[in-house]
Amino acid sequence: MITTNVASRLVSAAHELSDTVGGMRFSAPVSHVYNPLDYAGAVHDAYIARYATGPRRVVFLGMNPGPFGMTQTGVPFGEIAAVRDWMALAGPVRKPADENPKRPIEGFQCTRSEVSGRRLWGLFSERFGSAEAFFADHYVANYCPLVFLDGARNLTPDKLPASEQGPLLEACDRHLRQLVETLRPEWLIGVGAWAENRAIGAIGKDAGIHIGRVLHPSPASPAANRGWSEAATRQLLALGVWRD
Torsion of CA 55, 61, 64, 67, to 10 degrees: -90
Q: What is the pTM of this model?
A: 0.96
The residues, any chain, with a CB within 8 Å of residue 155's CB and separated by 6 or more, are 29, 30, 148, 149
**Nearest alpha carbon to residue 147 among 43, 19, 26:** 26
Instruction: State the pLDDT at residue 4.
Output: 67
Rounded mean pLDDT of 187-193? 98
What is the C-alpha separation between 126 and 166, in angstroms, rounded?
39
**Nearest alpha carbon to residue 189 among 227, 154, 240:** 240
What is the C-alpha separation between 184 and 233, in angstroms, rounded?
23
End-to-end CA distance of the chain: 34
CATH class of residue range 2-239: alpha beta
Q: How many CA atoms lie within 13 A of 74 on its CB side?
A: 29
Instruction: State the pLDDT at residue 1.
Output: 37
- DSSP letter at 125? H
Buried b (16+ CB within 10 A) or exposed e, 168-181: bbebbbebbebbbe
Q: Are strands 187-191 and 147-150 parallel, antiparallel or unpaired?
A: unpaired
Other C-beta atoms lying within 10 Å of the C-beta of residue 106: 15
Rounded mean pLDDT of 33-52? 98
Helices 162-183 + 2-22 axis angle, to 10: 170
Instruction: State the pLDDT at residue 5.
Output: 93
Instruction: State the pLDDT at residue 244.
Output: 87
pLDDT in tens, 156-185: 999 999 999 999 999 999 999 999 999 999
- DSSP letter at 160? S
Residue 3 has pLDDT above 60, yes or no: no
Instruction: State the pLDDT at residue 134.
Output: 98
pLDDT in tens, 88-133: 999 999 999 899 999 999 999 999 999 999 999 999 999 999 999 9
What is the C-alpha separation between 55 and 61, in angstroms, rounded?
16
pLDDT in tens, 53-87: 999 999 999 999 999 999 999 999 999 999 999 99
Q: What does the domain layout of the chain look like in residue ranges? A: 2-239
The residues, any chain, with a CB within 8 Å of residue 44's CB and separated by 6 or more, are 14, 36, 37, 74, 75
pLDDT in tens, 203-239: 987 678 999 999 999 999 999 999 999 999 999 999 9
**Nearest alpha carbon to residue 190 among 214, 158, 207, 156:** 214
